[in-house]
Amino acid sequence: MKILSLKLTNFMSYKGTHEINFDVPDTSPVILFLGENGHGKTTIQHAARWCLYGETNYKDRKIPLLDLLNRKSYDSAPAASQVDMEVVLEWEDSKKNYELTRTWSVKKDETGWVTGAATPSLRIDHKNPVPTTSIPEYVQRFLAKEISHFFFFNGEIQDEFDKMTSNDDGAGFIKSEIEKTLSIPVITEAINWLHGKESSESTAIEKANRDNAKIAQHAFDKVQAVKEKAVLENELKSQVEKREKARTAIAELNKKIGNIEEVQDLTASLNIETGKIDEITSQRREILSNIKDHLSMNVWLPNSKYLLKVWKTAQSAKDEYEKAEESAKTFLRNIELLSELEQSTTCPLCNSVHDNTPESVKSRKVDLQSKFDEIAGKYDLGFQQTLELFALMGFESSKVSKVVDLQKEYDELGARLAKAKNAAAEVKNRLSLHGNVDVKESMINMRGFTQNEEEATRSINTYQDEIKKKASYIEGLEKEISKGGTVSPEKQAAYNAFRYLRFLFTSGKESYANLVRQQVETFASESFNSIISDKKFVGLKINESYGVDLLMKDGKIEPLRSTGQAKISAISLINGLIKTAMPEGFILMDTPFGSLDMGHRREVCKWASNSGLKVSLFMHSGEFDRNIDSEFFGNGIGRIYRIHKVDDNESSISVEV
């Protein structure tokens, strides 16, 4: 089924005629409806429902026709005039065109308003209308009312899907939706009817053979078996209630503290950060003590920066002096050698005859003496006193370095301490969202509730097996009773026919339901995998009791634990239900991004563009960021409608270019 257009005339917030074109290319299947709360987004869903079924509800309450009529259209109507409210829905299926029109008119006279019944009209391929009595049959064939909320997905039904868990309430809801997808309740009604007819024939056979001892015994055994089966069913009901009570307690505990595993993880993280804080604080305390010890033993350390500068200057002067002193000693030795050379013709070092003249030797002596005098008069020996004072103080540069290193380590630990405190504060803030939680007590309670649930589940399985065995035993007795000799062949044939048909319908229904469930699960898992960011999951698992769980890579099952997971699971399950119900479908989804972070929002947009469905999303204007969301949708957006509020009683809708 491919929805093509929707035309509204004087319907709810839309005065006059407004037409919406849903026909977009398969490559751009997404239509966005943007508007503020109360501007008329949900009105579009109400219009489609009213056109199809002749009624639409708000919070399980049928909306009166007069409330559907645009207030301004009849408030401003002149006397003796008629106001028409009309919705036209056009769709296509198997290359045939269907146009359904539903009209309601009110007339204004001197006494007030005169109303009549709403009238539907259905044309196929633009030909003459089909009989009015046939319209519900056509509508039911294409879009059964029982599953219409899959396609018109508003906030109310979204709340139901968001509550999906493995508990009985959620499981029962999902089961009913899956069964309604392919009209399984109709099969159940047929089974109940057949069982009633079978029981009537069985009673007739028993009465006809009351004098037959064998059949009378079978009848007595059957009565006893039916009573025993009823006892088992009551026990089963008791265990189901016990399990539901345990699951409710688990849900309440989770509701009270949020995600208990998250609380446990946060508490563990807080303990780690607190341990870090204690350890770092202790280390800083020890370092600070070392610094104080150094300061008490070296009173000059507070001025170490200045003193180190003075000490380095004095030390540098000492080093230069010692270097100059060594040069001066060299000059003196050379002057002494020249003096000896001046008095002899042989070299005092090697005893060889030299050819230096007395004048040249004397000149060199004068030069060396000048250099010596220059060095000797250049240096101030004040550094010696300075260094002596530093020695008396016990000054050592290594002590300064040690304190500097300690101070650096102290500061680095301070940075780590601040980081740990910030982390601890963040964890505390997250924990505060879960309330005042006693994690130990909560875990003890959770284990108790879980144990009760598991015990009840085991008992349920046991009772279900016993009930099946008892039902089989009863079936056997009824079969023996049906062989009664005094009953007419017609009566016996009728009984066997009803019994066999009931067996076929019952076994067929179970197989059929399982196949439907598996198909929904397959489609839903495909969507879930394309949206969810946590790749430890491989899909959704609709268990035997129709609860929804998360399937992990190792085959283990994990329950839904967060609002985001529930939201994504809801969207995925809806996708699976629609695809199971029809090969080519559509969905009008109201406010789909609640409780989703930006990453999952992106994946939902991608899903909408690639789901194979024609997806219309109704969003608050502030929810849509053209730059961000256009990137998320890729080329998937086929059309954007903007809903504008004219006043409290009128809105208009237009295509945004």
Per-residue pLDDT tens digits for 594-637: 666 777 778 888 888 888 889 999 888 777 777 777 778 888 89
Q: Give helix 260-297 / helix 439-481 axis angle, nearest 10°.
A: 160
pLDDT at 427: 85
H/E segment holding residue 25 = none
> Among 106-120, 463-477, 519-533, which stretch is predicted with the lowest mean pLDDT?
106-120
Statement: residue 555 has pLDDT above 50? yes
CB 240 within 8 A of CB 460: yes
- Give burial (CB, 10 Å; 0-12/13-18/19+) of 246: buried
Per-residue pLDDT tens digits for 13-25: 999 999 999 999 9
CB 413 within 8 A of CB 283: yes
User: What proportion of the chain, given as a percentage, has pLDDT over 70?
Assistant: 80
Domain assignments of the chain as residue spans, ordered by start: 2-158+587-655, 315-388
CB 50 within 8 A of CB 87: yes
Which letter, b or e, does each residue of 311-344 get, where b requires 16 or more Cβ atoms within 10 Å of its Cβ? beebeebbeebeeeeeebeebeebbebbeebbee
pLDDT at 215: 80
Statement: residue 155 has pLDDT above 90? no
pLDDT at 301: 65
Report, as an integer, the average pLDDT of 393-406.
77
Per-residue pLDDT tens digits for 215-230: 888 888 988 998 999 9
> Among 15-24, 265-274, 389-398, 599-608, which stretch is predicted with the lowest mean pLDDT?
389-398
Structure tokens at 138: 């056509």
Per-residue pLDDT tens digits for 277-326: 999 999 999 988 887 877 777 766 666 676 777 777 777 777 777 777 77
pLDDT at 383: 67
pLDDT at 333: 74
pLDDT at 159: 59
Half-sphere exposure in the Cβ direction for 45 (13 Å, CA): 24
Report, as an integer, the average pLDDT of 209-220.
81
Statement: residue 342 has pLDDT above 50? yes
Report, as an integer, the average pLDDT of 21-33.
92
- Predicted confidence band at 258 (pLDDT cuts at 50, 70, 90)? low
Per-residue pLDDT tens digits for 362-376: 777 677 677 666 666
The total number of residues shown for the chain amounts to: 657
Statement: residue 276 has pLDDT above 50? yes
CATH 2.102.10.10 for the 2-158+587-655 domain, yes or no: no
pLDDT at 116: 78
Average pLDDT, the chain: 81
pLDDT at 552: 86
